[in-house]
Chain A
Amino acid sequence: MASPIKLNLWVMPNAGFDTQRVMQKELAIFRKENPGYDVKLTVHPWHFAWDRLIAVAKHKDYRDPPDVVQIGGTWNTTLAALGALADITDNLDDIERTDIVRPVWNYCYEPTRTKAYSLPWFLDARVLYYRQDILSQLGLTPEDLGTWKGFREACERLQNSKLGKKYFALPLPGQKEGILIHDLAPWIWGAGGNFLSSDRHFAQFQEASSLKGIDFYFRMMVDHLIPLLGRDRFSTGDFFSGQFAFQVSGVWPINSFLNPKYAYYQPDVAKHYGISVFPSGPAGQVTYLGGSNLAIASASQHPHAAWKLIKFLTSVESQVRHSRQIGMLPSRYTALEELLSSAPARVAEVFRHSLRVARTLPCAETLGTIERIIGRSTQNLMAAVRENRYDESLMSHEVSVAAKEADYILSLYE
């Protein structure tokens, strides 16, 4: 009997320390269904994964290269331009294209949309979590969170109440300094702004409407509604750990924070959590849609077998099982509906609605560098907030400097 084809699969810690266990269960089913194949799983932290994918792309003699790789959706265009990913355009005839959540196709193609390099695996559609018990103690209803103005007023009311000594309003999206483009996006879009022009030749995040969104967000920091490390009380907690009243998140953590068996389970949070669509900005309702894709590494020695594995992992059955474990949404409508059919009606309704108003980031080859520019700029703005220097003109100047830098980068590639 011929020895099985061995595939190397690289993923990120989608289920934290539990990733190996979660993925091995899936892979056991794959092996059973495909006796001629074996899969070696490697879990790379996000910040290592990029460097390793680049190393594979640039060194044709890389030892033990991956066959199938998980990539952040926004990485697709850049990694394709670097030759790290195999062209899978023809393979797409093999799947039911209309079943993939439509907007995330943007993360699969190169900018001219002629060639596809990855297939969506799971989604990150941002919603607003809130504590129902806190809200009712403040005399508010979920409807009060429907707009930016209402949401801000709710945060202020919390801060000015006795409850404000026990709970913060909204956490920073990460522990790192600076705000990621993903987290800034709904505020910029909600104010009618954009990151880049549609031809990707110029930055637009310095335009008046974009600035309005950025200012709204940073004013929440200025007014201590989003506490900052080093200025407000030190906290690395979040909504699910019970320290915050609100949180913007793309996760529905049924198997972790909302599961009584989970080590960091907080009964109060699980009992009282509420969920809502991201508040409407002056330009309407919009939220961020991201996620992870699966791609065949161009260094793969077994592209046909690699596609088989991708097809399995993106199948409806596998997506439902996997999504339940990691808390992200499946990328296929059928799997999404199956998952949401077992969710509380409100959760299902909010995620469905969010996907209808969700937008994706632009597919620019230089998006990673532009993300860094924006990250640096927001870092400076956070420093200004901390040092009580923040005002609209400083913000506008800082962002316009960043936009000029982005224009320079775009002029070199796009």
Chain B
Amino acid sequence: MKDKRALQKIRDEFHKFSIEKPLGFGRRWSVLPREKNDLLAHALRYLCESMQIDRAAVFFYDEVRQTLVARQLVDRADILPGEEEIAILPESPLARLLSGKRDYLIIDEPHYLAYVTLRAFGHIFGVLRVENVHHKRAFTDQDIPLLSDFAHELATAMHGLELAASEREQLAQMRAMHEVSNAIFRSLRLDEMLKSVAQSLIQQLGFDRVRLYLVNRDGEHLESVLTLDQRGQETVEKESFPLKRGVHPMVDLLLGKMSDERIEKYQRTILYLPLRTRDENMGILMVDNLLSQQEIPPEQMPILTAVAGQLGMAIKNARLFQGVEELSITDGLTGLYLLRYFRQRLKEEFYRAERTHGQLSLMILDIDHFKRINDTYGHQAGDTILTTVAERVLSNARKVDLTARYGGDEFVILLPDTSAEEALLLADRLHQAVSNESVILSNKNSVNLTVSIGVATYPTHAATIEELIKRADEALYWIKSHGRNRIRLYSFEIPSKI
């Protein structure tokens, strides 16, 4: 007959653990470590003490590897740091225990141990092992009822812990979903939005790395645009794949091919999520836990799928916004910035140079005899000349320089943080780039172009924005009155136009 008082004591002991205790722990690990170990350690210590048992251990069953893995080992009051695994051979006594064909197993001298199944709500998830290694006292059938009750209470308590953890997990999922959605709609600027989403995915879902690939604007390539890792570091390595089947499994996936052996094999640690709108492939979101070797929990899949859906649409919107923004600040013919935007940027750069005691140069470039070309070959030819000059200037200017269309055949180039000497070198480069090759017009005529470039620098030549523009213009005027086709840095010897 079972000892009811002993059983009640066991139950009381387990009730000391409030399974509602908030864990305050990282979401992916909320089920596994610490608290469950605390429960096990406390329970096994209690068992050793109350039943005068030398050593107790809980083993969880790994069905895939058919192995019992020690979760907690206690030697009377001490937690042992050892590792132990028991391979389960078919038809072995432990295999019968785990299949539910028997409830306990006593192994006599010289081992003095007993195994009891850990069963809760019909599911066996491991075994409790007790040993009398020090006392060398064998377990008997009389010990089993109390051990079974203990094992059942322990299994039930662990199940309760898992349920509580699962509830918290669901709450955490909702919070993560909310946070990532917020990140998607935080900005309409594409770069900012993508970075914000990547950061949020790493912070909320704990991925090792997030990568984003977007279909480029001509729709012909899938290009990497962002890689962010757990340390918050962005990697700059660029990848580009033609958007054709068979080039890369990621491209195939985006184009609708569902199965790829490599992608499938690693789908628990690397996920590729196509980003689509109803009628357009936008890119791929790739998340992975390859370094940490932690499986991506299935509970995260709904979040990731929803995020991918929202992100596809958000990218499309951001690109539309970017397009509208570009239309309002760029010249339709040359693609160069309009003067209004240029002035705004000039102001910003000028104030920065003032504040930091830096330098700032400005060039005005004029196409020599443009009116004559226009009159001779027509307006279409004039447009070709303007576009060609714009292309040549853009491809020879530095990334930090800002080029705008200044008027009919004049261009203005802002050179932040640039001295007069450096500006002259750049002016020379532009002068050669534009003048070296003739331009072929649509009627197969070719025109040899030359340009004149006036340069001025803050603070060497000017104290204000207007003065800076005026000085560059005066340098240009001087060239024009001295035969054109050259560059000239402003000098105070140049007489003022006015």
Contact = CB atoms under 8 A, between A and B. Distances in A.
A412 B87 CA distance: 35
B74 to A, nearest CB: 12
Nearest to B270: A412
Contacts of B262: 405, 408
A57 B231 CA distance: 9
Contacts of B288: 412
Interface in B260-278: 262, 265-266, 269-270
Nearest to A404: B262
A81 B229 contact: yes
Given A57-B230, A408-B262, A413-B290, A44 B81 contact: yes
B29 A405 contact: no
Interface in B63-90: 65, 69-70, 75, 78, 80-83, 85, 87, 89
B291 A62 contact: no
Interface stretch (A133-141, A198-206, A353-361, A365-373): A365-373
A62 B26 contact: yes
A46 interface: yes
Contacts of B169: none
A102 interface: no
A365 B81 contact: no
Given A13-B83, A20-B81, A176-B85, A82 B33 contact: no
B265 A368 contact: no
A82 B82 contact: no
A158 to B, nearest CB: 26
A230 B293 contact: no
Contact of B293 (A20, A62, A176, A369): A369
Contact of A230 (B33, B69, B81, B89): B89
A58 B265 contact: no
B291 A55 contact: no
A412 B82 contact: no
Interface residues of B, number: 36
Nearest to B208: A82
A364 B81 CA distance: 29
B25 A63 contact: yes
B45 to A, nearest CB: 16
Nearest to A366: B290
Nearest to B65: A177
A52 interface: yes
A82 B231 contact: yes
A193 B32 CA distance: 40
A175 B292 contact: no
A7 B270 CA distance: 36
A50 B265 CA distance: 23
B291 A58 contact: no
Interface string A359-397: 000000110110010000000000000000000000000
B309 interface: no
Contacts of B291: 78, 81-82, 365-366, 368-369, 413
B294 interface: yes
B160 interface: no
Given A20-B81, A58-B206, A413-B291, A52 B33 contact: yes
B24 interface: yes
Interface in A170-196: 175-177
Contacts of B292: 54, 57-58, 78, 82
Contact of B83 (A45, A52, A54, A57): A45
Interface in A37-64: 43-48, 50-52, 54-55, 57-59, 61-63
Interface in B169-222: 206, 208
Nearest to B249: A408
Contact of A58 (B26, B81, B269): B26
Q: Is the interface of B mostly helix, strand, loop or mixed?
A: loop
Report the interface size class on chain A.
35 or more
Interface of A: 12-13, 16-17, 19-20, 43-48, 50-52, 54-55, 57-59, 61-63, 78, 81-83, 175-177, 229-230, 234, 365-366, 368-369, 372, 405, 408-409, 412-413
B29 A55 contact: yes
Nearest to A82: B230
A263 to B, nearest CB: 10
A377 B288 CA distance: 22
Contacts of A413: 290-291
Given A82-B208, A412-B290, 6 more contacts: A13-B83, A58-B206, A61-B26, A83-B230, A229-B87, A409-B290
B293 A16 contact: no
B434 to A, nearest CB: 42
Contacts of B89: 230, 234
B80 A17 contact: yes
A46 B478 CA distance: 79
Contacts of B208: 82
Interface of B: 24-26, 28-29, 32-33, 65, 69-70, 75, 78, 80-83, 85, 87, 89, 206, 208, 229-232, 262, 265-266, 269-270, 288, 290-294
B26 A59 contact: yes
Contacts of B293: 50, 368-369, 372
Contacts of B78: 20
Contact of B290 (A50, A57, A369): A369
A87 to B, nearest CB: 11
A405 B265 contact: yes
Nearest to A81: B291
Contact of B82 (A13, A50, A177): A13
A368 B208 CA distance: 14
Contact of A17 (B82, B206, B269): B82
Nearest to A46: B83
Contact of B32 (A51, A62, A230): A51
A298 to B, nearest CB: 9
B3 to A, nearest CB: 32
Looking at A81, A177, A366, the one whose CB has the most chain B CB atoms below 10 A away is A81
A47 B65 CA distance: 15
A380 to B, nearest CB: 14
Nearest to B85: A175
Nearest to B37: A48
Contacts of B32: 51
A59 B25 CA distance: 8
Looking at A44, A366, A413, the one whose CB has the most chain B CB atoms below 10 A away is A413
A234 B291 CA distance: 36
A52 B32 CA distance: 10
B266 to A, nearest CB: 8
Given A82-B291, A412-B270, A45 B85 contact: no
18 contacts: A20-B78, A20-B81, A45-B81, A45-B82, A46-B83, A51-B294, A54-B292, A55-B29, A58-B230, A58-B292, A59-B25, A62-B25, A83-B231, A175-B85, A368-B293, A369-B290, A412-B270, A412-B288
A366 B231 CA distance: 16
A320 to B, nearest CB: 23
Contacts of B75: 17
B205 to A, nearest CB: 10
Contacts of B28: 58
Looking at A46, A55, A365, the one whose CB has the most chain B CB atoms below 10 A away is A55
> Ordered nearest first, which 3 A-B pairs have the shortest CB separation?
A59-B26, A43-B81, A83-B231
A40 B291 CA distance: 29
Contacts of B83: 13, 45-47
A367 B468 CA distance: 59
A210 to B, nearest CB: 22
A71 to B, nearest CB: 14
